[in-house]
Structure 1
């Protein structure tokens, strides 16, 4: 095992309490979102519709949705390559052969980006900020469709034998993907419920929950080892 792989595994272990703290924060943010936002049900409605349409089209024998999700996967690789100032040399997407992009230089963020970045959901969240209040429910619904696409793509693509995952190690990839999914979904809920919630409140909850969890685990370890703090 290479030194880089060992370091990544250690980072994965260190980040586990942060994942737990972020998950608690996401739960609190989701609870607030569904309690105070009268249009909140448009979000799960959009997710459910995407999943339903995907199942129906696939059952009809069409590979359209598979191609769309492969294209979406490679599009996010491309997006992160561009914002990382890496040259994109080629782009390929197929429903039967999968997808691939060729870039000048890669990194773990580019490689794992399709598994944690809900691109279309975030686009619709951003558009909501510029829409009149009476029409914002439609942006929430479209953000739900984008979330459904992301979750479906994640479910079908995240496999430990995937080259993106193998390259970065299963533990590191799993923890980073889980953590960033939680964070981005927290951001989505905060933007969609922007009349009542804030992104900074979500991150403050993440920090406080993670800090409390680390302190709690530290106390347990000290008690078990017999060390008085």
Structure 2
């Protein structure tokens, strides 16, 4: 008699499988929120000159990136600092911190998906500019607003471009969480943050909650369309 041994998946393998499935499930959300962002941007009324300041900042960074030495150390420092800040936010502490042009490392007492991937979707320097913008509004420093919007455009372009470049190399953070899960999550959160920038800095009266609701609805619509296409293909076989 041949005796078969049942092999069960380890918790690690189950978690990897779950993250793969979740990553695939996030793809319709990426499409839905991108669609919603485009629709929102085209339908808004904007503050005078604000979009031009933002675009000027974006263009200025791209030009500086192409013409001058890339600010790698600035990016690495912000990357590791974001890990550290999110670890503290989740109740952990920082044991060591290192950043250089060759790379960085931070040792923390607590880690999770958000702490690991936060530097790729949370533009720390842009968030700092947003805080300054809010303070300038409280202090009624109207003359500073345009320059801060320009700086926000530059720092967000810096975040997007350097993040894209760093993701081309083998990143321990991505390997740890899995590329199929990490990339859609990073993309989705960057789209959501881009919408926040539009709402706070550029728009006269953008309803951010309405944007989120519209993104969810469009994401569900994407799933329905995909299921309809799959059903149609199945019937044709």
TM-score (norm 1): 0.87
CA offsets 1:165-221 (integer angstroms, 9 cap, x no match)? 111111111111111111111111111134221211211220121122222223333
Partners of 2:118 and 2:68 in 1: how far apart? 27
Superposed CA RMSD: 2.2
Q: Could you tell me how far 1:134 is from its partner in structure 2? A: 5.3
CA contact (8 A) 2:93 2:108 kept: yes
Question: Which segments of structure 1 move beyond 6 Å, counting only runs of 4 or more?
Answer: none
Equivalent position of 1:71 in the other structure:
77
Alignment of structure 1 residues 1-229 onto 2, 5 Å: 2-32=13-43, 36-38=46-48, 39-58=50-69, 65-96=71-102, 98-130=103-135, 131=137, 132=140, 133=142, 135-159=144-168, 161-226=170-235
SS in structure 2 at match of 1:15? helix
SS in structure 2 at match of 1:41? helix
Structure 2 CA distance for partners of 1:127 and 1:31, relative to 1, 3 Å = farther
Equivalent position of 2:4 in the other structure:
none
Q: Please identify the structure whose Cα radius of gyration is greater.
A: 2
Partners of 1:116 and 1:172 in 2: how far apart? 13
Structure 2 CA distance for partners of 1:67 and 1:102, relative to 1, 3 Å = same
TM-score (norm 2): 0.84
What are the ranges of 5 or more consecutive residues in structure 1 without an aligned counterpart? none
Aligned residues: 220
CA contact (8 A) 1:29 1:190 kept: no
What are the ranges of 5 or more consecutive residues in structure 2 without an aligned counterpart? 1-11
